[in-house]
Amino acid sequence: MTQIQDVIAERRRHPRTQLQMTLTCIRLDPDGGDVLDTLHMVDISRSGLGAFSDRPYYPGQRIVLCLPLSPNGGRRNIYASVVRCRQDQEGYRVGLRFDGASMSAWYGSSAAAATAA
């Protein structure tokens, strides 16, 4: 790791787990576009996730993520806020921060099961 990567890694409160999944989200404050959107998650932690989108988001924008409870079915809606959004060759890289403690229950059971599969 470079020194810059070391500094970024030290700022994180929770370790990331690489997990690729397509998620449906609802934009609570749409900026003139559709309310429903699709995000392509690439990593997750207890406090947030990283994803790619075809459309831009703005810092502070509020969304609801529809996350699977288990591979067998069921969903949980989790509120999140956009922390950052940067355009790159694949679209827009979006960083999200989860709201509330409800995410810990989903992360502990579903993310561990998904990475084991």
* Cβ-contact 29, 62 below 8 angstroms: yes
The reply to whether CATH 2.40.10.220 applies to domain 3-111 is yes
pLDDT at 22: 93
Structural domain spans, the chain = 3-111
pLDDT at 117: 45
Give the torsion through C-alpha atoms of 37, 41, 45, 46, to 10 deg. 30
pLDDT per residue of the chain (117 residues) written in tens, 0 to 9: 454 554 455 455 667 888 899 999 999 876 666 789 999 999 998 889 999 999 999 999 999 998 887 778 788 889 999 999 999 988 999 999 998 755 555 555 555 545 444
Residue 56's SS3 state is coil
pLDDT at 116: 45
